[in-house]
Amino acid sequence: MRKNSVKSTRINGEVQRALAEILRGGIKDPRISPLTSVVAVEVAPDLKTCKAWISVLGDNKAREETYKGLKSAEGFIKNQLARIVNLRNTPDITFIMDQSIEYGVNMSRKIDEVISSEQAMKAERPPEAEECEEI
């Protein structure tokens, strides 16, 4: 199976959906943050291994605790994945922590701060300064 084939893309999407469902409702471990999301999944062509990029919104402690909880629940997650997704082999899951969602939220917050500070500066300037600026 090629890396970017239609079959590979469908399997990756199905495993990602199933993992998100398992994390949302199947795991009762209190260490796993409720703000955990599955960003991406890459299943190997032989269906033996799987990399799952997990993002946790919160501080470093929440990330570490969630990672520990996921590592201890690997067997349960694999069992539930085998039940939900019908594959020839159920892949062994490797969790990789990803900060892309937190990075995006942080960048969005910074952009909002810059926009609000620009609007505050415009409100403080006299109207004559705006007319000269347009020329």
Residue 130: pLDDT band with limits 50, 70, 90: low
- Rounded to the nearest integer, the mean pLDDT of the chain is 85
More confident residue, 40 or 133: 40
- Count other Cβ atoms within 10 Å, centred on residue 3: 9
Q: List pLDDT tens digits, range 82-112.
A: 999 988 888 999 999 887 777 777 889 899 9
Q: List pLDDT tens digits, range 80-90.
A: 999 999 888 88
Locate all alpha helices (DSSP H) within the chain, ordered by sequence.
6-21, 60-72, 74-84, 100-124, 127-134
Average pLDDT over residues 43-59: 89
